[in-house]
A and B are shown apart, each in its own frame.
Chain A
């Protein structure tokens, strides 16, 4: 029999706040984390819009020998994971005695790669690159650093699934626990925010250019959306078997009841309707629930023309006449990419635990597809016990998670 998988801890560092409490307040108040960064224009960006994120200074928290191997996003992931482990009541003694795993979504480490190549080109001497670069440059930089800092002894793997990375990390962690291969897995997603990591993304005209109104730029599902706004940070979710959580007296926050996934098998950047629909249906089928019990949908919707329209079609097709509130928290955070699948589980959890649905900011006029959905532009005070969260990515990778409240 499959193990039930529950969430026992969460931690986050995002443009909405540096911890769960700050983020919850921002969600409740419908506060945008988007700003205009003039320095991006100097680099030749088409759009200077970005999420506002302060790089934490971990000097005095971690040793030099720990920090030297950490790329930008590892700093966020460390803080998010530290908060999550504390909230899950997992300490160093527990980690030393148990094989706790680590599956984290990350799909780039561009700034570290760029700096080491710049040094190599300038100095013509690889010895000048320094010891940290190789460990900062690899896609697995987050998991290699977190596993060493927190002394984790279970599975140790980075999930690179484009903008669905964080969601797949949680879904795959759940599968390992269901199969009895792990009792507890630290899951999450991290996203670097430096301009070098997304210059190429800006170059394909994917970003909003509503630069004179940064807080209005990310407008998922709105008729007048003109592209996404890049964001980032990190989010960590501690998941474990129900039995393990009960045994150690852990706070049991919710149960992950469904994980669906699919691949579009289609275009590299243009999403379709069929792939996401299959991911949604698989998650709902696996959860074995009446779709009417789903009280909230956290959409992937990034504020792009085709992406939002096709997701709206997929949701409308799957949900039929059941119309729960559907919002995209990216209206506040921008697109947190590799992190988004994990952070949006946390945003949704905070809403579910606190009885509200944060507004889909800037949803002023629907289009032909979003008019079929129930998208609130202002906060809704509502008690709900089950939510569904979508995450889709380049290459047509799709992930859907369903989470049920445990009181």
Chain B
């Protein structure tokens, strides 16, 4: 999967799960602020990413994923191709 498709797939899934407009998901936006979630919501984001891409975000790594760009890059680095 190329990165453009990956980003599109992530955004569509997040928009549906967290009930927000896809247009608000811009690369440098803060994830928690944009999705209006707390640490519990992040649990659902992690589960969503794992179910979509088979990529498990480790608990000690989630703190470094602050923006959507961070998230796209993390998945892109760890996805099995």
Interface residues of A (CB under 8 A from B): 59, 63-65, 68, 125, 127-132
Residues of B within 8 A of A125 (CB): 50, 56
Instruction: Tell me the dominant secondary structure on chain B's binding face.
Output: helix
Residues of B within 8 A of A132 (CB): 44
Residues of B within 8 A of A63 (CB): 19, 36
User: Contact partner of A64 among B19, B46, B47, B50, CB < 8 A?
Assistant: B19
B47 and A128 form a contact (CB under 8 A): yes
A65 and B46 form a contact (CB under 8 A): no
Residues of A within 8 A of B17 (CB): 64
B26 on the interface (CB 8 Å rule)?
no
A127 and B46 form a contact (CB under 8 A): yes
A129 and B41 form a contact (CB under 8 A): no
The count of chain B contact residues (Cβ–Cβ below 8 Å) is 14
B24 nearest CB across to chain A (Å): 14
B36 and A65 form a contact (CB under 8 A): yes
Which B residue's beta carbon lies closest to that of A67? B19
User: Contact partner of B40 among A59, A127, A129, A131, CB < 8 A?
Assistant: A131
A178 nearest CB across to chain B (Å): 38
User: Contact partner of A127 among B18, B37, B41, B56, CB < 8 A?
Assistant: B56
B43 and A64 form a contact (CB under 8 A): no
B51 on the interface (CB 8 Å rule)?
yes
Residues of B within 8 A of A128 (CB): 47, 50-51
A68 and B44 form a contact (CB under 8 A): yes
A-B contact pairs, 12 of them (CB 8 A): A63-B19, A64-B17, A64-B18, A64-B19, A68-B44, A125-B50, A127-B47, A127-B50, A128-B50, A128-B51, A131-B40, A131-B43
B43 and A130 form a contact (CB under 8 A): yes
Alpha-carbon distance between A130 and B19 when the two chains are bound, in angstroms: 16
Alpha-carbon distance between A338 and B19 when the two chains are bound, in angstroms: 33
10 nearest CB pairs, A to B: A131-B40, A131-B43, A64-B19, A131-B44, A128-B47, A130-B47, A130-B44, A64-B18, A127-B47, A127-B46
B43 and A127 form a contact (CB under 8 A): yes
A65 and B43 form a contact (CB under 8 A): no
B41 and A131 form a contact (CB under 8 A): yes
Alpha-carbon distance between A125 and B50 when the two chains are bound, in angstroms: 10
Alpha-carbon distance between A131 and B18 when the two chains are bound, in angstroms: 13
Residue among A63, A125, A127, A129 facing the most chain B CB atoms (10 A cut-off): A127
Residues of A within 8 A of B41 (CB): 65, 131
B65 nearest CB across to chain A (Å): 15
B19 nearest CB across to chain A (Å): 4
